[in-house]
Amino acid sequence: MALWARRAVRALRLWGPGREPAWACRPRIAGGRTPISFSAVVSSAFGNGGDRKKEKLFLQDIAELIRARACQRVVVMAGAGISTASGIPDFRSPGSGFYSALQHWDVPYPEAVFELSFFFDNPRPFFSWAKNLRPGNFRPNAIHYFLRLLHDKGLLLRLYTQNIDGLERASGIPGSKLVEAHGSFASATCTVCGKPSPGEGFWAAVMEDRVPRCAACTGVVKPDVVFFGEALPERFFLHMVDFPTADLLLILGTSLKVEPFASLCEAVRSSVPRVLMNREAVESCAWRPRSRDVVQLGDLVDSVERLVALLGWTEEMKDLVQREAAKLSGQDR
Ligand code: CNA
């Protein structure tokens, strides 16, 4: 069997035996450090010498690996936390997250809003949430543009996003580089006859607090976002080749609570550095860390700006953000 296929099979056994116990290696919470040489960084990152389990990696090391093109097949896993700076609440942040705002609705538990059985019974809480997410309502932020810059520099192998706000596309990242694992609001389909519904009619109904209905059969129309229990888009299976061949994994703004997406973070090779940037340490990066994990806690925009500065890309980022903001403003006129 080809090497990539063997790795893909291994990637599917996401909870296979043989991983290091949590106490064997702690996550590396980034902070001040004495810089080490580039060769030491590459060596520690990819195990070309020394006892690599003892080598710590920091954000600066990751920047050096990218600058030296020792990492040029970067896979990104993104969640709602990359869009909060654009003004879109995430789900689980206490106080500001959508799940905290659900007391106005008669919802048995927060996740029910995204379950088909509840949706068929009462689609209004979902559409009330969807209203805010109509295309064009929000703009990409510095995090989206950092990912765009990774693409422009030929470093982005693929961006796997759980987000359905379309801001990755809006930032100029082409569809071929994207896996919108939980679908998007770009299209909608009748839940009864399966007919695609034209966007204008759908959004007109949602904006007027009406449940959108199919013109052909009057069934409820649902945007093509993935509800709990629904199949993920076929493109999701690209992970079987992307993750085993990645040389850096960035995990940005996600609680890693939703499967099967969350377990992808286990699917990169064990020698591949994983960088988690989030407010808090999450899931396996917290309780089953790998020796080459870098955990950068705090506000994501700050963390990304720090990485951009370490990469020496600050001016390029500013230019890109200005150019793209002007383009989007032009489209609004
Ligand atoms: P989540 O469970 O709400 O987790 C978000 C994570 O991001 C949390 O760990 C937060 O602490 C963290 N976070 C939020 N803002 C920041 C910030 N500024 N800096 C650093 N960390 C931050 O959301 P997930 O994406 O993990 O859950 C998957 C769900 C959420 C998917 O099915 C999405 O469709 C769904 N969702 C998407 C959007 C969107 O498209 N923008 C918005 C809300 C929910």
Q: Nearest CA to 293 among 262, 242, 250? A: 250
C-beta 111 within 6 A of ligand 1: no
CA pseudo-torsion sign 315, 317, 321, 323: positive
In ligand 1, the atom with minimum distance to the C-alpha of 256 is 26
C-beta 85 within 6 A of ligand 1: yes
CA of 18 to the centre of ligand 1 (A): 30
Q: How many CA atoms lie within 13 A of 126 on its CB side?
A: 25
In ligand 1, the atom with minimum distance to the C-alpha of 165 is 40
C-beta 197 within 6 A of ligand 1: no
C-beta 168 within 6 A of ligand 1: no
CB 119 within 8 A of CB 64: no
Digits of tens for pLDDT over the chain (333 positions)?
Answer: 444 444 444 444 333 323 322 222 233 344 334 344 445 555 555 554 444 445 689 999 999 999 999 999 999 999 999 999 999 998 888 888 888 877 777 788 888 999 999 999 999 999 988 988 888 889 999 999 999 999 999 999 999 999 999 999 999 999 999 999 999 988 999 999 999 988 788 999 999 999 999 999 999 999 999 998 899 999 999 999 999 999 999 999 999 999 999 999 999 999 999 999 999 999 777 778 898 999 999 999 999 999 999 999 999 999 999 999 888 887 766
182 catalytic residue (yes or no): yes
Q: Nearest CA to 59 among 73, 79, 45, 80? A: 45
pTM, to two decimals = 0.85
In ligand 1, the atom with minimum distance to the C-alpha of 98 is 43
CA of 46 to the centre of ligand 1 (A): 31
